[in-house]
């Protein structure tokens, strides 16, 4: 007889295996659970009272808003891509063009913004106050005026405060970088309380970086007397204390929500429901893939950056009939500071606690290799366990859009055309069984007996049932089951199993 093991193949359970397994596994009583898992938003706390909701809303709105981020007025936007032409930060023309194009797409994602123009301009001093020489500076100013632009977005992660201050005065328009542009997109998309609190923390981080160069006119809803009831020597001191107070309150509010989510995660772990985090660069097709695998028609994938900000779960039935949860996560993007990632650590924790990661790559994107590198780097930044990283399934999506053959990264699929999805579900099943150390075996049980009923209720999956050719009163059942459930099964039925073999 073949001994038990955790890969997806089956062996017969005999008395020798039973006694060895019984000595190896022991399980205290566990709760019953129902396999009917419905799609839901993970980060949604329904236990809060109306008063708590009002308090949190007051927290998000009170004290001040930074006008640069809160401004909802329509804008004609010019995008400028400073490209380092030498040195450690050298960027090729092709790489610079790809980043410029992506930044343009970011701008277009904001519904009340319109791209008036975009240019890539070489520089040798990207960290200098003015970034460019006098000739290029004059060219940028004339270009902004000729395009009737009232905002400029620089295609770099974060402008230094002195750079932001200089270009705002020099161009006499509002000035943004990729960080602040992404924050504005998040303002449009955040819907859950947790996402809004995390966004508020990220905005505070951005404000702190520019604090020395901000003036009172940069803020709205600023009430010194309401917040503190006294005077301060300088506006800078007021700003600093306001930010510190608000940051502390936001962190306390977020901590209380995070604690509630940890309880829910532990409950899900107790139920032993395997989870699969679907990650990838923004707009790589994660939601489309989840819709195709889960057959959840309520999902409406959108062809735009950061279409998904709130983490949701969706049930999937694997070939073995085992149930699992697919977790739709926020998309990653390059050229933003790690502080933004850290502010959304609570949401991204769903990735770290999953049993398996599926990384979706847009195979049709010309910059896919850099996008893969960004995703891998972000996973390391949020401290994904090494086992999860090593067992991650890489899939190249949108292969139906390829006009020429390319070297595919991982499994070739198309979520919209359902290409390669059967093989993907088999790989997900195999990896889940291995990562969760589930057991797969055959067992002979009485047709309709207690063992059969218990396995039908408690096992992860009943893969196949067929009559025992030696005795029609018995069935040969192929089972996938967790170690803890198997231990309980052995404890309950060891006498019956010993009699059978």
Distances, alpha carbon 398 to alpha carbons 375, 412, 417, in Å: 18, 8, 9
Residue 138 has pLDDT above 90, yes or no: yes
Please give the structure tokens belonging to residue 457: 């209720």
Assess contact for 108 and 179: CB atoms under 8 A: no
Per-residue pLDDT of 83-95, as tens digits, reads 998 878 888 888 8
Q: Of 209, 212, 84, 215, which is closest to residue 155 (Cα–Cα)? A: 84
Q: What is the pLDDT of residues 352-365, one digit of tens each?
A: 999 999 999 999 99
Beta strand extents in 355-492 (DSSP E only)? 356-362, 393-397, 411-412, 439-446, 461-468, 471-481
Tell me the per-residue pLDDT of 459-491, one tens digit each, with 9 for 90 and over: 888 888 899 999 989 999 999 999 889 999 988
At residue 365, the 3 state secondary structure works out as coil
Concatenating the DSSP letter of every residue in 183-205 gives HHHHHHH--SHHHHHHHHHHHHH
Q: What is the pLDDT of residue 270?
A: 67
Round the average pLDDT of the chain to a whole number and report it: 80
Highest-pLDDT range among 19-33, 132-146, 231-245, 454-468: 132-146
Query: Is 60 exceeded by the pLDDT of residue 127?
Result: yes
Question: Which percentage of the chain shows pLDDT scores above 70?
Answer: 76
DSSP assignment string, 72-98: -S-EEEEEEEEEE-SSTT---HHHHHH
pLDDT of residue 175: 94
Distance, CA of 45 to CA of 258 (rounded, Å)? 10
Please, are residues 266 and 44 in contact by the beta-carbon 8 Å criterion? no
Instruction: Determine the Cα–Cα distance for residues 306 and 54; give it in Å rounded to an integer.
Output: 27
Which residues does residue 276 pair with via DSSP β-bridges, in sequence order? 326, 356
Over the stretch 276-289, which tens digit does the pLDDT of each residue have? 999 999 889 999 99
DSSP code at position 261: H
Full DSSP string of 111-142: TTEEEEEEEEEEES-TTSSS-S-HHHHHHHHH
Which is more confident, 424 or 194? 424
Residue 45 has pLDDT above 60, yes or no: no
Give the alpha-carbon dihedral of 186, 188, 193, 197, to 10 degrees. Answer: 40
Tell me, what DSSP letter sits at residue 51?
H
HSE-up of residue 395 (Cα within 13 Å, Cβ side): 28
Average pLDDT over residues 229-243: 62
**What tens digit of pLDDT does each residue of 150-162 get?**
999 999 999 998 9
Least confident span in 34-43, 89-98, 215-224, 318-327: 34-43
Give which of 157, 119, 144, 171 is closest to 334, Cα–Cα.
Answer: 157
Of the chain, the percentage scoring pLDDT greater than 90 comes to 39
Residue 141 above 70 pLDDT?
Answer: yes
Read off the pLDDT of residues 330-339 as tens digits, 9 standing for 90 and up.
888 888 777 7
Q: What is the pLDDT of residues 292-322, one digit of tens each?
A: 999 988 877 776 677 666 778 899 999 988 9
Domains in the chain (CATH in brackets) are 1-37+436-501 (no CATH), 66-185 (3.40.50.11060), 275-435 (3.40.50.300)
Query: Would strands 471-481 and 219-220 be described as parallel, antiparallel, or unpaired?
Result: unpaired
Per-residue pLDDT band for 239 (boundaries 50, 70, 90) equals: confident
pLDDT at 30 over 50: no
Q: Count other C-beta atoms under 10 Å from residue 9's C-beta.
A: 12
Count how many residues are written for the chain.
501
User: Which residues neighbour 385 within 8 Å (Cβ) at sequence distance 6 or greater?
Assistant: 352
End-to-end CA distance of the chain: 12
Tens digits of residue pLDDT in 155-191: 999 999 899 999 999 999 999 999 999 988 888 877 7
The answer to whether 333 and 182 have CB atoms below 8 angstroms apart is: yes
Range from 13-27, 127-141, 392-406 that averages highest in pLDDT: 127-141
């Amino acid at each position: 007889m073949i001994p038990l093991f955790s890969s997806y193949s089956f062996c017969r359970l005999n008395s020798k295996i039973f006694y060895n397994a019984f000595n190896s596994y022991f399980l205290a009583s566990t709760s019953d659970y129902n396999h009917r898992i419905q799609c839901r938003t993970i980060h949604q706390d329904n236990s809060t009272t109306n008063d708590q909701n009002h308090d949190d809303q007051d927290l998000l709105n009170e004290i001040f808003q930074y006008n640069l981020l809160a401004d909802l007025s329509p804008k004609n936007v010019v995008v400028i891509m400073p490209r380092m032409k030498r040195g450690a930060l050298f960027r090729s023309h092709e790489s610079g063009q790809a980043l410029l194009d992506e930044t343009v797409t970011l701008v277009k994602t904001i519904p009340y913004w319109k791209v008036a123009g975009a240019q890539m301009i070489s520089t040798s001093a990207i960290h200098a106050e003015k970034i460019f020489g006098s000739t290029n500076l004059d060219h940028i100013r004339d270009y902004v005026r000729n395009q009737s632009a009232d905002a400029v977005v620089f295609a770099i992660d974060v402008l230094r405060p002195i750079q932001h201050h200089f270009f705002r005065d020099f161009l006499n328009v509002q000035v943004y970088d990729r960080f602040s542009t992404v924050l504005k997109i998040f303002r449009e998309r955040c819907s859950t309380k947790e996402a809004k609190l995390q966004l508020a923390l990220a905005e505070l981080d951005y404000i702190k970086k520019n604090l020395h160069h901000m003036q009172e006119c940069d803020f709205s809803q600023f009430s010194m007397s309401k917040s503190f009831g006294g005077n301060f020597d300088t506006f800078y001191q007021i700003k600093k204390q306001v930010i510190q107070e608000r940051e502390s309150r936001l962190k306390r509010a977020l901590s209380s929500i995070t604690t509630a989510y940890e309880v829910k995660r532990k409950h899900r772990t107790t139920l032993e429901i395997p989870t699969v985090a679907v990650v990838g660069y923004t707009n790589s097709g994660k939601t489309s893939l989840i819709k195709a695998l889960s057959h959840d028609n309520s999902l409406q994938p959108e062809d735009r950056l950061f279409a998904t900000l709130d983490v949701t779960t969706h049930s999937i039935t694997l070939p073995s009939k085992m149930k699992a949860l697919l977790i739709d996560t926020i998309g990653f993007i390059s050229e933003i500071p790690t502080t933004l990632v850290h502010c959304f650590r609570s949401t991204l924790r769903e990735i770290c606690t999953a049993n398996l990661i599926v990384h979706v790559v847009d195979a049709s994107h010309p910059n896919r290799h850099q996008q893969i590198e960004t995703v891998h780097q972000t996973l390391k930044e949020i401290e994904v366990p090494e086992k999860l990283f090593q067992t991650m399934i890489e899939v190249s999506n949108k292969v139906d859009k390829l006009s020429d053959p390319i070297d595919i990264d991982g499994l070739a699929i198309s979520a919209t055309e359902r290409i390669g999805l059967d093989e993907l579900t088999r790989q997900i099943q195999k990896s889940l069984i291995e990562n969760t150390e589930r057991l797969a075996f055959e067992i002979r049980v009485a047709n309709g007996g207690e063992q059969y009923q218990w396995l039908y209720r408690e096992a992860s999956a009943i893969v196949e049932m067929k009559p025992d050719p030696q005795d029609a009163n018995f069935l040969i059942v192929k089972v996938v089951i967790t170690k803890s459930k198997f231990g309980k099964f052995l404890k309950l039925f060891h006498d019956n199993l010993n009699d059978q073999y």
